């Protein structure tokens, strides 16, 4: 195996806003856009309302817009946009792709509908993703969708210890098997994740028609429960790996098993994260 270094992260900007769906009975839900100033990937205009800031597609020649999103991503059960792991991962991914994270505390089915609503509003999106329960919704939303790339962070294949047992986990393996040949999936998770055992995921990957890759974080459990700063460093780094994968760069992965192992190590003072991947 060879050691591969991910590129250093550029400066990331953020915009918080609330998105109104077409459903009149649905309240606007919080969103956060992560992007780099250069290069722009299309524009959206920011419109202030009593409910917050709404983003709408804008003409390409407008100079006061923001990049259109490439990726839709959402959080896990009982979490929110300020979750440190989600925030750090989105910042890492935003180094190469504009990321729109949304907050939705509803069921898997409702979250899947939110993915679809945002895709209608922002057709520039080419990838869905989520962490834990959010990744289950991303899979469901992608079925029969134009979106052909999925980023699934801490995908739960077991409901052990879950406070939300009705979250479609029994249906999830079948949903993964329904993904077609033209779909590409990036799985990310810890080697100590009690809700997604490596052996179970490996078996499902063998049966999937969709092509898949696996980023394994050494020593991480389902919640990526390292110390606060260490968790941020690890999640940001993994986000950068996801960004490279989304760009078509799979050099970090073992060619046969399509697996990359992130070695979590620190300098002698325990402060600086050593960003090392074992893979290709």
- By the 8 A CB rule, do 249 and 224 touch? no
Direct distance between the N- and C-terminal alpha carbons of the chain, in angstroms, rounded to an integer: 6
Report how far residue 136's alpha carbon sits from residue 234's, in angstroms, rounded to the nearest whole number.
22
Q: Per-residue pLDDT averaged across 237-250, rounded?
A: 92
Q: Per-residue pLDDT averaged across 48-77, rounded?
A: 61
| Bridge partner residues of 152 (DSSP) | 130, 187
> 42: which DSSP letter?
-
Q: How confident is the model at residue 260 (pLDDT cuts 50, 70, 90)?
A: confident
The architecture CATH gives domain 3-278: 3-Layer(aba) Sandwich (3.40)
Please check the confidence at residue 158 and state whether its pLDDT lies above 80: no
> Rounded to two decimals, what is the model's pTM?
0.82
Look at residue 8 in the predicted model and tell me its pLDDT. Answer: 54
User: Using one digit for the tens of pLDDT, what is the confidence trace for 102-155?
Assistant: 999 888 999 999 999 999 999 999 999 999 999 999 999 999 899 999 999 989
- By the 8 A CB rule, do 186 and 242 touch? yes
Please check the confidence at residue 220 and state whether its pLDDT lies above 50: yes
The domains of the chain are located at 3-278
Dihedral angle over CA of 126, 131, 135, 138, nearest 10 = -30
Of 232, 220, 253, the residue nearest 6 (C-alpha): 253
Report how far residue 80's alpha carbon sits from residue 61's, in angstroms, rounded to the nearest whole number.
34
Please check the confidence at residue 73 and state whether its pLDDT lies above 90: yes
């Amino acid at each position: 195996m060879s050691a591969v270094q991910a590129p250093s992260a550029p400066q990331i900007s953020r915009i918080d806003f609330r998105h109104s769906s077409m459903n009149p009975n649905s309240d606007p839900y919080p969103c956060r856009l992560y992007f780099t100033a250069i290069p722009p990937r299309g524009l959206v205009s920011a419109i202030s309302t009593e409910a917050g800031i709404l983003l709408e597609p804008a003409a390409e020649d407008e100079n006061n817009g923001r990049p259109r999103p490439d990726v839709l991503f959402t959080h896990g059960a009982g979490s929110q946009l300020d979750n440190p792991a989600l925030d750090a991962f989105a910042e890492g991914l935003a180094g190469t792709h504009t990321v729109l994270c949304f907050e939705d505390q509803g069921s898997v089915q409702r979250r899947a509908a939110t993915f679809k609503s945002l895709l209608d509003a922002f057709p520039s999106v080419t990838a869905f993703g989520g962490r834990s329960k959010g990744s289950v919704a991303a899979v469901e939303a992608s079925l029969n969708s134009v979106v052909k790339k999925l980023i699934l962070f801490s995908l739960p294949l077991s409901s052990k210890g879950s406070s939300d047992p009705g979250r479609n986990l029994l249906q999830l393996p079948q949903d993964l098997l329904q993904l077609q040949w033209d779909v590409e999936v990036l799985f990310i998770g810890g080697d100590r994740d009690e809700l997604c055992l490596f052996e179970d995921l490996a078996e499902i990957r063998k049966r999937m028609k969709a092509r898949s890759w696996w980023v394994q974080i050494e020593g991480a459990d389902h919640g990526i429960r390292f110390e606060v700063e260490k968790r941020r460093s690890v999640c940001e780094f993994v986000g950068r790996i996801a960004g490279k994968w989304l760009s078509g760069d799979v050099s970090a992965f073992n060619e046969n098993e399509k697996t990359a192992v992130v070695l979590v190590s620190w300098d002698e003072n325990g402060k600086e994260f050593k960003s090392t991947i074992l893979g290709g």
